[in-house]
Structure 1
Amino acid sequence: MLRIVIADDELPIREWLNYCLKDKNTKLKIVGIASDGLQAQELAVQEKPDVVIMDIRMPKMDGITAMKNIKKVLPQTEFVILTNYADFSYAKQAITCGAKEYILKSELRSSELIEILVKIEEERYTQYDRPRIADQLERAAQKTLTEHSGEHIDTNNQFIEKALMYIHEHFDKTISLADVAGQVYRSPEYFSRLFKEVTGENFSIYLINYRLTQARKLLINTDFKITDIAYRVGYQNPSYFSRLYKKYMGITPEDERRKNSLKAK
């Protein structure tokens, strides 16, 4: 479960974020709401959240300063930065300072925000140890497999092959690490480790790369609108899709299509 602090000096934004996230997803829990940067810093130190959703420009202390101060005490806390168009260059500075994502307020959608938070949760599975009981379950499962060393590799490969088939058939829908782990009857923690061991990639990164590879094929070979392509590869927010495409493919979807259109002439 992600523990979240919301920090924004605009009451309507705070209320909207709280409404969108509270009780909408069992993996998300709001542990504090702040109306200025100083309060956000104090709340974060007190509550030790996994994620802080924070506006860049706030009274008493700006978002970047608050983020830097919180990072010194809680280096594992992730930040999702909210900004207006006028703050765009400021947002880039926030990313440089360690923010996980930034969202323009004019394009803020609950589906995009939840998608970002779910992605953060999935990545944390691969980065940090989980509770002792989960570790014990993993060790027990590993022991059972290693007792049959000749079958160990084949068994692992079979699990992951089935998982990959599920991903390839359902990448256009909202799927999570827990969903795929359930398909092979493994705990998310154990499956995450096994997936990385066999494929060499984290689950979330593999899913992103697979979706974007399929998107590239559609950009090059079809006339579908970029908005439609985003939906077809599993992203409900086209602007989020475009940012991901630029981040991982090194080029915007529009430029990808334009570049390949020129090659075809």
Structure 2
Amino acid sequence: MLRIVIADDELPIREWLNYCLKDKNTKLEIVGIASDGLQAQELAVKEKPDVVIMDIRMPKMDGITAMKNIKKVLPQTEFVILTNYADFSYAKQAITCGAKEYILKSELRSSELIEILVKIEEDRYTQYDRPRIADQLERAAQKALTEYAGEHIDTNNQFIEKALIYIHEHFDKAISLADVAGQVYRSPEYFSRLFKEVTGENFSIYLINYRLTQARKLLVNTDFKITDIAYRVGYQNPSYFSRLYKKYMGITPEDERRKNSPKAKKC
């Protein structure tokens, strides 16, 4: 479960975030709500949250200063920055200082925020060395079952292959590491580690790359609107999809279509 602190000087934003995160996902716990940067810093030090969702401009202390101060005490805490269009360059500075993601307030959607938080949660499985006991127990259980039943248990490659098939068939839906791990009857921690061993990539990175590869095919070979393509590859927020595409593919969806579609090549 992710422990979250919300910090924003606008009451409607604070209330909306609190409502959405409590309503959308039972795996998220709001442990504090702050209305200024100083209060956010004090709350974070006290509650030790996994994530702070914070406005970049607040009274008493701005978001970047608060983030830097919190990072000194809680280096593992992640930050999602909220910003207005006027703060765009300021938001980029926040990213260089360690923020995980930034969201424009004018485009703030609960679906995008949940996607970001789910990714943070998944990354935590791979970033930290989870108890080796779960790994050892799983291996021991497999060995015991083999000895007892005398039946062949799928090798690591085989059940990762099953997981990949599931991803390829359901990438257009809101699937998570835990969902796919459940499909192959493995714990999320064990599955995450083994997925990296077999494929060479973290689960979340693999899913993003696969979705964006499929998106590129649609951009180049169809006339679907970019908004529709975002939905077709599993992203409910087109703006978030466009930012991901630029980040991982090195080009915007619009430029991808302009430069590489068959129509563009004829020109």
C-alpha displacement of 1:134 = 3.6
Secondary structure at the aligned position of 1:130 is classed as: coil
Query: How many residues get paired?
Result: 264
Alignment RMSD (CA, Å): 2.6
C-alpha displacement of 1:3 = 0.4
1:226 and 1:238 in contact (8 A); partners too: yes
CA distance in structure 1 between the partners assigned to 2:132 and 2:262 by the alignment: 56
CA distance in structure 1 between the partners assigned to 2:200 and 2:150 by the alignment: 21
CA distance in structure 2 between the partners assigned to 1:226 and 1:204 by the alignment: 22
Match of 2:108 in 1: 108
Against the structure 1 CA distance between its residues 222 and 41, is the aligned structure 2 distance closer, same or farther, given a 3 Å change threshold?
A: same
Against the structure 1 CA distance between its residues 131 and 209, is the aligned structure 2 distance closer, same or farther, given a 3 Å change threshold?
A: same
Against the structure 1 CA distance between its residues 142 and 189, is the aligned structure 2 distance closer, same or farther, given a 3 Å change threshold?
A: farther
Against the structure 1 CA distance between its residues 67 and 248, is the aligned structure 2 distance closer, same or farther, given a 3 Å change threshold?
A: same
CA distance in structure 1 between the partners assigned to 2:198 and 2:84 by the alignment: 42
C-alpha displacement of 1:186 = 0.4
TM-score relative to the length of structure 1:
0.93
Deviates more, 1:186-195 or 1:148-157: 148-157
Unaligned runs of 5+ in 1: none
1:95 and 1:101 in contact (8 A); partners too: yes
TM-score relative to the length of structure 2:
0.92
2:215 and 2:230 in contact (8 A); partners too: yes
CA distance in structure 2 between the partners assigned to 1:148 and 1:42 by the alignment: 55
C-alpha displacement of 1:122 = 0.6
C-alpha displacement of 1:218 = 0.3
C-alpha displacement of 1:133 = 5.9
CA distance in structure 1 between the partners assigned to 2:201 and 2:194 by the alignment: 10
Against the structure 1 CA distance between its residues 183 and 262, is the aligned structure 2 distance closer, same or farther, given a 3 Å change threshold?
A: closer
**Could you give the per-residue CA deviations for residues 114-144 of structure 1, whole angstroms, max 9, x where no partner exists?**
0110011011111113357645534645876
C-alpha displacement of 1:154 = 6.6
Deviates more, 1:135-144 or 1:105-114: 135-144
Unaligned runs of 5+ in 2: none
CA distance in structure 2 between the partners assigned to 1:155 and 1:162 by the alignment: 11
C-alpha displacement of 1:153 = 11
2:80 and 2:102 in contact (8 A); partners too: yes
1:172 and 1:235 in contact (8 A); partners too: yes
1:145 and 1:152 in contact (8 A); partners too: no
